[in-house]
Amino acid sequence: MRIAIIGTRGIPNHYGGFEQCAEYLAAGLVKKGFEVVVYNSHNHPYQQKDWKGVEICHCYDPEFKMGTVGQFLYDLNCIRDVRKRKIDVILQLGYTSSSVWGWLLPGSAIVTTNMDGMEWMRAKYSKPVQSFLKYAEKLAVRYSDHLIADSPEIQRYINNKYGEEACYIPYGAEAFTAPDPEILKDYNLEIEQYDMLIARMEPENSIEIILDGVVKAGLNRKFLVVGNMENDFGEYIRAKFQYYRNVIFSGAVYDIAKLNNLRYHSNMYFHGHTVGGTNPSLLEAMASNSLICSNDNKFNRAVLGDDAFYFSNAADVALQLTVTVKSAACYQQLMANNLEKISSIYTCENIVNAYASHFEAIVYERVKATPQKTLQPQVTFSLDH
């Protein structure tokens, strides 16, 4: 079976959650005997045509000189290329800039779309853009043969909004078992003597609220911010907090070993994402034995349950920073419970198996040409712990 993965900047991951998912998913599917093509931006750092048995197709991506408009043209270029290939299933990761081209997707392939979060809720977007994204979401549903939700909340939303059944498949992570404190020297940090966050510099990731809380707490403990600062919001954040010597901006870090060690050795890890479903960076924090303080919303609570602290404002952040010490015996069970979720539910192997089962089911459904509903993956996910 030939699978094409579109909708990301490419693999190996040098950007974010969808790219991380595409990376382990593509490699895992190849090991299971699938033929996989992943579409990469033409200027992706990895320029080879093969990665771990995955075929890499580079398409021209003008985002670097046109901004957001370039994303739409990149997606168009990917779709134009995939139309020329013999593909059984197209996995579309997200829909923000690709759904307008949905009518061009080849009818010979089965299109299944991971709907991600409710993009139109993101605070960075103006009202007109939010209206467009609602329309794009509708187009994605219309032009997809099947839908995937990475969270039960997203699954319910799709069903309530569009009357469509989405297959629930979350993201995955691997338990981190090789801590190396030497990595901390590169950042002038000491074990559990710093707190941190990892996020894209976007308003909906609560970065300003978290750092306001850091300032409010007034502790003599470092706070590490990991993320690419090279956008308008990143520049605003850096300018606002540049005079607080304990706030450290490392820039983007894509080396998974470094990220895992930074999370593992931190005192407290802050997860500020407010929009979306099962966030990959949250799973990676759980897998890295982090003590987590998360934005209080239904998406994060669906994953963490009672095994984390929560914040809604800067005062909550300041309080947690002031009173919480990771080494305290009372917090060890929280981290152990989150690791258990990674080992039993959110493993990369489970997610690869679920996608493989989904692909096999929807291809079988088309071959048999029956009106039956899409068969669900054999891997069953439960959030009851």
What is the tens place of the pLDDT at every residue in 67-119?
Answer: 888 999 999 999 999 999 999 999 999 888 888 999 999 999 999 999 887 66
pLDDT at 121: 65
Only one residue has tokens 């009357």, namely 163
Q: What is the C-alpha separation between 212 and 314, in angstroms, rounded?
A: 6
Question: Does 129 have pLDDT greater than 90?
Answer: no
Task: Report d(CA 201, CA 183) in Å as an integer.
Answer: 24
Answer whether 168's CB lies under 8 Å from 381's CB: yes
Q: What does the pLDDT read at residue 385? A: 41
Whole-number pLDDT of residue 14: 85
Whole-angstrom Cα distance, residue 204 to residue 133? 16
Note the pLDDT of residue 372. Answer: 52
pLDDT value for 18: 86
Distance CA 351, CA 126 (A): 34
Using one digit for the tens of pLDDT, what is the confidence trace for 244-278? 999 999 999 988 899 999 999 999 999 999 887 78
Q: Domains in the chain, ordered, with CATH?
A: 2-172+347-368 (3.40.50.2000), 181-344 (3.40.50.2000)
Cα 27-28-31 angle, rounded to 5 deg: 90
What per-residue confidence (pLDDT) applies to 124?
65
Q: What would the mean pLDDT of 169-191 be, rounded to a whole number?
A: 95
- Mean pLDDT estimate for the chain: 92
pLDDT-wise least confident of 99-108, 217-226, 276-285, 313-322: 276-285
Pick the more confident residue, 5 or 18: 5
Average pLDDT of the segment spanning 293-302: 94
Residue 25 C-beta-side C-alpha neighbours within 13 Å = 34
Of 309, 331, 333, nearest in space to 321 by CA: 309
pLDDT at 382 over 50: no
For residue 249, give the nearest of 214, 295, 282, 216 by alpha carbon.
Answer: 214
